[in-house]
Structure 1
Amino acid sequence: MNTPDIGKNLPSPGHPAVAAYLADGYDSVVGMSSRFAAAICARLLRLQTEEGVHGPIAEIGAFEGRFFIALAHALEPGELALAIDIFSWPNPEVKDRFEANCFRHGINPGQRVTIKGDAGAMRPSDLIGHAGGRKLRFVHIDGEHSRAALAKDLALATACLDEGGMIVLDDMLHPGYPTLMVAVQHYLDANPEIVPLCIIDRETIVGAAKFVLCQRRWFERYQTRMLAIFKDQIWPLGADFEPHWCLVLSQDTRLAQIT
């Protein structure tokens, strides 16, 4: 099957349905996540599948579904995508728009579960129950942008994470939310079994950077594969989390010229 052209220096997302959505549909859904990050995350889901990691995924802060639809298209048959949101901003009709966007772009009710509520008030057993009793292989956190809310979302995601799972954090290093990094560093200090797997660089100030986290015991296994998969998107210097080092994936991999 031919893969649609999804833009300059974007990696293949590993799924024809994701590529088609990114090429002709992504921009039609209201949202702020970048196409570059969506392509990377879809390919990471494919990497998990190739490494024998299967199961449901979740997005905290689904909004109108732009990023959620890309993730859902990257799932294998029988896998479930959970969309969690308070669905009240900017108006209550946002939930209807989310459902309509999913339907329009081919994500059917049997493939997804829509959960209207505050993830920060959920217990791990609640979320796992929505996932049919299974832990999650991938959680994208794009909820309320406060330290307290992010800390709660991280705790929930970690408690529900399956072996080989990944947690993706949106709007990292965004100038509008400078204190989120405080919550992330506190979390990493308190959870040494979790490490950054990579940073997905910003596309614009709106399409901000994401951090991808994984279990420490999976880091080398995933990184070895990613060095080949994303060879054209790797920024040479990487990210130093003192002392942990991880990849930076970017559309612009140039280094500053020193004259």
Structure 2
Amino acid sequence: MTFRSGNPVVDRYIAEDYESVRGMSSRFAATICAHVIRRQSDLGIEGHFAEIGTFEGRFFIAMALGLGPTEKALGIDTFDWPDAGLIDRFHRHCARLGLDEERYITIKAAARDLPPDDVAMALGGPVRFWHIDGDHTPKSLSADLDLAVQSLHPKGILCLDDMLHPGYPLLIAALQAWLDRHPEMRVLAVIDREDIVAAAKVMICREDAIDLYGQDLVDTFPAHHWKLGADWGDYFAVVLTPKPRLATVE
């Protein structure tokens, strides 16, 4: 592979066991996100990881394995789809792949029904990396963002899954409306899709934290940097893609 997070434990899991956990997140996106978590650790940014829409734990395990010894991972899911056995499969995957129960917490609920204090109480501190992969409706996305931003570390990341997905075109409109209400936040990077399943992610952070991550992503993944960038109106965000290229005209 031409991409690695730099954390040997995470990279081994992504290379050898990632697809043994049922899910739709790609190795490419997981590697970049795990690198950001490692970058945060290198910068002394401490906090937890939280995910809305944990499913069987494919992406969750990768991020949790990259945390420090005193940090925890929180998985929020109704754990009732496609069947009631989902939560048991999730716990089995965690145990099988080296994530013991002292390192993570689950909340079996819809994120939109959670008071913000529940997240803070469960973790006892800020979240430095949020992954939002819940109900794919504009209303739910806005609610999930409102929940997540209240516990976000000042230098933390909000990562949204399935953005720019052809099956959920209204999500990007909901994101832009949310950004308009939160001018302190901006898009850091777009992690391009690989196929109809492994869809694009968008990473967001506070404007004053952009310099902590943007150039580092470009420098770390030069072979995957699409140099034109993502045009968000009054600024450009980094674009990382498996095959950075322009369309050809024949």
Is 1:23 aligned with 2:15?
yes
- 2:172 and 2:11 map into 1 onto residues whose CA distance is 31
Letter aligned with residue 52 of structure 1: G
1:103 match: 95
2:204 match: 213
**1:9-48 superposed matches below 5 A:** 9=2, 11-48=3-40
2:105 match: 113
User: 2:50 pairs with 47, 58, 77, which one?
Assistant: 58
User: 2:135 pairs with 135, 144, 163, which one?
Assistant: 144
In the alignment, structure 2 segments of 5+ residues that lack a partner are: none
Measured against aligned partners, the alpha-carbon deviations of 1:33-86 in whole angstroms (never above 9, x if no partner) come to 111000000001011111221111101000000000000111111110001100
Checking the alignment, whether the CA contact within 8 Å between 1:53 and 1:163 is kept in structure 2 is no
User: 2:146 pairs with 148, 155, 158, which one?
Assistant: 155
Deviation, 1:220, is 2.1
Q: TM-score, normalised by structure 1?
A: 0.94
**1:167-182 superposed matches below 5 A:** 167-182=158-173
Deviation, 1:258, is 5.3
- 2:249 and 2:46 map into 1 onto residues whose CA distance is 46
**Counterpart secondary structure, 2:29:** helix
- 2:247 and 2:163 map into 1 onto residues whose CA distance is 22
Q: Which moved more, 1:226-235 or 1:93-102?
A: 226-235
Q: TM-score, normalised by structure 2?
A: 0.97
Letter aligned with residue 118 of structure 1: A
- 1:220 and 1:13 map into 2 onto residues whose CA distance is 19
- 1:167 and 1:230 map into 2 onto residues whose CA distance is 20
Is 1:201 aligned with 2:192?
yes
User: 2:183 pairs with 188, 192, 211, which one?
Assistant: 192
1:256 match: 247
Q: Percent identity?
A: 45
Deviation, 1:183, is 0.8
List, as ranges, runs of 4+ consecutive aligned residues in structure 1 with deviation greater than 3 Å. none
1:230 match: 221
Measured against aligned partners, the alpha-carbon deviations of 1:173-227 in whole angstroms (never above 9, x if no partner) come to 1111111111101011110111000000001110000000011001123212222
* Number of matched pairs: 250
In the alignment, structure 1 segments of 5+ residues that lack a partner are: 1-6
